[in-house]
Structure formats: C-alpha cells, structure tokens
Amino acid sequence: MISCIKKLIFIVMETNVSLLTKETLNCYVENHNLIGYERLLVEEISSAVDRKDSASIEWFVRFGNTLRKILFNVHAYRMGLRFGFDNIEFDEYDWLRRPSFQDIEELLFGLPDKSRYGNYSVITLGHGPNQIWTYGLSCSYGTAGSSGICVYDQTFANKEEALKDATAKLKKMMLDKVGDTDATNYNQQIITATLKDIDKLEISSVQLTLF
C-alpha cells in the first residue's frame, strides 16, 4: 500500500514538473498580466530551469498542479514564514491552507450600541508561532464591514507596536471624513464616537506606561 502511494506521489510530481519548462513559463508570462511577486517567482523558477536545478524545481512543484497555483501557494507560504508558519498543507481545492494566528483579540471602536455591525470599526490583533504580531482593520463609517488578519499583513515585533499602528491608521481614516456632507456613507455620529474611543485607548495606554 505504501509503495503504491509513493508511486502515485512520484507520478503527480513528475506531471507537475512538466509545467515548469521555459516554454510554459514564457507562455504564462505572455498571456497573463503578472503582478510583482508573480513576476519575481517566474524569474526564480526560470533561473532554476536554466541551471537544471532539479531540487529547486521539485520543491516548487509541491505547491500545485497548475502554474497559477504554484505561484500563489509559494508566495503565501513565504509570507507565512515571517510569522513562523512553516506547515505545507493544502485544502480540498489544492490551495495552501490558511494558518491560524494565536491570541486573537478584537477591539471595537464606535457607537455604544455594538449590536449592529455598521456602528463600529474593528481592529483584530494576533501573532504567529514566532511571536511576530500583525493586525487587521475594518473601518466602518456606518456600513457593515469585515475584519481579520492574514499572512500578507504588516509585521510587528510586539502587540503594542501593532496596536499603535492600527489605531493611528484608523484615526487618520476617520479624521479625513470629519464634516463630510455625504451623510449616507459617512455617518458623523459614528465617526465622532470612533475618535472618542481611540482617544480613550490612547490615554489609557499612556497611563499604563507611567506605572
């Protein structure tokens, strides 16, 4: 049974290796509008092909059965390494499985009534296995939004730095809309309440440093 599984894995890898040739790489570049990381990865893979670096090529083909999936999954994996996520595991659609951050904390800023999503903005904090922190920001001026963190977010050495950056960004976004006459999209009550909550948090943070 084990030998059959090994044989199957070898066949899959051998098939995927055929994806990584100069011809397929050039064709992919010509037919897709690549963004930054995709172009760099294609260049990296192309260099491995030129060098006939079989070890590198076999490493790349572990990440998908199409070139698009290989590029996306390798990029996601490397971004995850910044937080200490080194597990290579795929979902049922062969996309790299999203890792779980630790010590997730959500902070709400806005109207006292938090029963309606559009009444508040959310800052989500969390860290990876290596204790590197990040945050997700959902800014709401009166309409519902979403919040969360992922491996593509900015890295911070500690929770305090992440929270400081997040609140500064949210504060700027709110200040930019103070007095906006478009009341439908920019509810001034929510903006004012959000700024007050941010001020309270900043004051409490300063007080904590005094003890």
Chain segment 51-109, per-residue pLDDT in tens? 999 999 999 999 999 999 999 999 999 999 999 999 999 999 999 999 999 999 999 99
Question: For position 144, what pLDDT does the model report?
Answer: 57
| pLDDT (0 to 100) of residue 16 | 67
Q: Give mean pLDDT, residues 191-207.
A: 91
How many contiguous H segments (helices) and E segments (strands) does the chain have?
7, 3
Rounded (5°) CA angle 181-185-190: 85
Rg (CA), the chain: 23
Within 10 A of 52 (CB to CB), how many other CB atoms are there?
8
- Packed helices 22-31 and 67-81: angle between N→C axes, nearest 10 degrees: 90
pLDDT of residue 33: 95
Domain ranges of the chain: 2-81, 102-209
pLDDT reading at 12 higher than 50 = no
| pLDDT above 80 (res 143) | no
Strand 102-110 with 120-127, pairing: antiparallel
Are the CB atoms for 71 and 91 separated by under 8 Å? no
Q: Quick one: pLDDT at residue 2?
A: 44
Chain-wide mean pLDDT for the chain?
89
**pLDDT value at position 40?**
97
Going by pLDDT thresholds of 50, 70 and 90, the confidence category of residue 209 is low
pLDDT for 15 beyond 60: no
Q: What percent of the chain has pLDDT over 70?
A: 88
With cut-offs at 50, 70 and 90, classify the pLDDT of residue 208: low
Range with the poorest average pLDDT among 17-31, 101-115, 121-135, 182-196: 17-31
Q: 49 versus 8: which is more confidently predicted?
A: 49
Per the model's pLDDT, the better-predicted residue between 189 and 211 turns out to be 189
Whether the CB-CB separation of 87 and 99 falls below 8 Å is answered with yes
Phi, psi (degrees; rounded to nearest 5) at 2: -65, -40
Rounded to an integer, what distance in angstroms lies between the CA atom of residue 108 and that of residue 140?
11
Give the pLDDT confidence score for residue 6 in this predicted structure: 41
Number of Cβ within 10 Å of residue 204's Cβ equals 9
Q: How far apart are CA 151 and CA 128, in angstroms?
A: 9
pTM: 0.84
210 pLDDT above the threshold of 60? no
